[in-house]
């Protein structure tokens, strides 16, 4: 029985995990951060790398060491484990992340071509009331999800299909754009926007939420373990070790690519100040450097990255829901999620991003605290109430903050949370999390003493 992967296979599995992580948000947020942060880009990237690289790698390790997300979350309460895991899978699955892969790749592949043909994007097609852009996006998304669905039908083959072929192609294409910026610099870094001028590290940390990788990391282990087993490793302890190694490889690749993308976007802030997202910034840079060829390269980058992530998310979500409702087989779940994602993706990228912000504000702090607690195993075994107490305190604040972003105010509670240190910066959950850990120690000690 093989106890570890060969170096070649380990690299492939690491590439596969990177491919699953690196999708729509990973492409559009670093250049947008660079454009907004300007001369403070690298300070902001310090915070971004913590939440968009460090936490996901820790998440992969935490889940592997805990024997799965359900086991980890179950240390809070069985009902919490079910509801939180369900919410995580829906968020990174058909409700937000999967539709975002189609919306982003459409904006970067089809939409520029239609605009270049001078077609009327706002005009009405016939008497249906649908714009040409709406119909084009639906047709593209339908084809996108059909192909992704076919590939996702064989999750144990993802290492061969994503790690061997699509990931190297993606890295080469990104390298072409980055090399172009080095050979033909677009100018100095711009002036930081108001949101980054004070506290760029904290702002960068919060921007890292948008990649969704920390919550995705809690779920990708299912598919990664499946691919490790397909390479001949059967012992559970060895699978855990190889999963963690693959997470480190994926994290290194993510950090390198994020740095390259931030450098690409930083000089563009002076000429793309009103740009709504990083996709438009990359469009400007690629077009300026290589003209129409640059647009084709960029389109391929977005298509491959978004397709890889879409396949990975379809696979892990379907694997999970098969365990909940086994009567609906794995392939049927893949098809169901593909159809749901097709419908939601028609809303467009900016609308999906607008919805994702409050949802992630509610989920992310809880996920971060779960990951941290997983690495405090000696303490949490000694005082088991640390898990439920810290998650309860963290969850209350994060939900209140998310509701506030959605313009929903809870009397007294919303006002009270504003006095928490770091609340204005979006980090008001840290003190409650620490207080919850302390309360957990007190509760566990009281229960031991028979109070």
pLDDT at 206: 82
Q: CA 285, CA 113: separation in Å to the nearest integer? A: 16
Burial 226-249 (b: 16+ CB within 10 A, else e): bbbebbebeeeebbbbbbbbbbeb
pLDDT at 387: 93
List all residues 6 or more positions away from 14 whose beta carbon is below 8 Å from its beta carbon: 163, 245, 246, 247, 248, 249, 250, 253
Unique residue bearing structure tokens 């009270």: 416
Q: What tokens does 70 get?
A: 């359900």
Q: How far is CA 445 from CA 34, 105, 127, 142, 382, in A?
A: 48, 53, 71, 56, 9
Contact of 37 with 270, CB cutoff 8 Å? no
Unique residue bearing structure tokens 């919410």: 87
Contact of 295 with 288, CB cutoff 8 Å? no
Q: What is the pLDDT of residues 357-406, one digit of tens each?
A: 677 778 888 988 999 999 988 888 899 999 999 999 999 888 888 787 77
Q: How far is CA 106 from CA 143, 154, 290, 299, 318, in A?
A: 11, 25, 20, 9, 24
CATH class of residue range 7-347: mainly alpha
Q: How many CB atoms lie within 10 A of CB 4?
A: 17
Unique residue bearing structure tokens 């049927």: 332
Question: Could you state, in chain order, the average pLDDT of each consecutive group of 10 residues for the chain (451 residues)?
Answer: 76 86 81 87 92 90 84 89 85 80 79 59 46 78 92 82 81 90 84 82 83 81 78 80 89 92 82 64 84 86 88 88 89 93 73 68 86 89 92 90 76 79 80 93 83 59
Q: What is the pLDDT of residues 396-438, one digit of tens each?
A: 888 888 787 777 777 777 778 888 887 777 778 899 999 999 9
Q: What tokens does 114 get?
A: 């239609």
Torsions phi, psi for 233 (to 5 deg): -90, 120
pLDDT at 419: 81
Residue 76 DSSP class: T
pLDDT at 127: 46
Give the start-to-end residue ranges of the domains of the chain. Answer: 7-347, 378-450
Radius of gyration of the chain (CA): 22
Residue 68 DSSP class: S
């Amino acid at each position: 029985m093989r106890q570890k992967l060969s170096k070649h296979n380990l690299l492939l599995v690491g590439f596969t995990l990177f491919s699953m992580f690196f999708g729509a948000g990973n492409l559009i947020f670093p250049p947008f951060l660079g454009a907004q942060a300007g001369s403070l880009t690298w300070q902001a990237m310090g915070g971004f790398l913590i939440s968009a690289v460090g936490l996901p790698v820790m998440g992969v390790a935490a889940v592997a060491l805990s024997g799965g997300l359900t086991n980890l979350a179950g240390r809070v309460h069985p009902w919490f484990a079910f509801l939180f895991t369900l919410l995580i899978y829906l968020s990174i699955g058909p409700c937000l992340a999967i539709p975002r892969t189609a919306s982003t790749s459409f904006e970067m592949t089809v939409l520029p071509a239609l605009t270049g043909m001078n077609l009327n994007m706002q005009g009405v097609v016939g008497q249906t009331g649908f714009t040409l852009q709406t119909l084009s996006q639906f047709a593209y998304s339908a084809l996108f999800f059909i192909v992704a669905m076919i590939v996702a039908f064989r999750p144990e083959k993802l290492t061969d299909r994503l790690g061997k072929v699509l990931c190297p192609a993606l890295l080469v294409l990104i390298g072409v754009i980055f090399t172009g910026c080095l050979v033909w610099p677009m100018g100095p870094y711009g002036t930081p926007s108001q949101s980054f001028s004070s506290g760029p590290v904290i702002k960068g940390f919060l921007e890292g939420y948008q990649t969704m990788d920390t919550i995705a990391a809690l779920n990708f282990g299912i598919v990664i373990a499946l691919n490790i087993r397909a390479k001949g490793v059967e012992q559970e302890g060895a699978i855990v070790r190889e999963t963690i190694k693959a997470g480190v490889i994926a994290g290194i690749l993510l950090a390198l690519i994020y740095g390259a993308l931030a450098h690409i976007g930083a000089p563009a802030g002076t000429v793309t100040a009103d740009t709504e997202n990083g996709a438009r910034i990359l469009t400007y840079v690629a077009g300026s450097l290589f003209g129409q060829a640059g647009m084709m390269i960029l389109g391929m980058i977005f298509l491959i990255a978004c397709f890889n992530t879409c396949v990975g998310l379809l696979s892990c979500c379907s694997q999970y829901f098969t365990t909940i409702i086994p009567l609906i087989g794995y392939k049927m779940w893949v098809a169901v999620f593909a159809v749901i994602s097709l419908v939601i993706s028609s809303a467009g990228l900016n609308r999906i991003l607008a919805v994702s912000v409050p949802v992630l504000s509610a989920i992310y702090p809880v996920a971060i605290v779960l990951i941290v607690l997983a690495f405090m195993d000696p303490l949490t075994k000694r005082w088991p109430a640390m898990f439920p107490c810290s998650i309860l305190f963290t969850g209350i604040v994060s939900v209140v903050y998310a509701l506030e972003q959605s313009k929903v105010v809870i009397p007294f509670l919303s006002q009270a949370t504003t006095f928490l240190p770091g609340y204005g910066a979006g980090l008001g959950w840290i003190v409650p999390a620490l207080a919850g850990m302390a309360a957990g120690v007190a509760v566990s000690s009281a229960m031991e003493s028979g109070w």
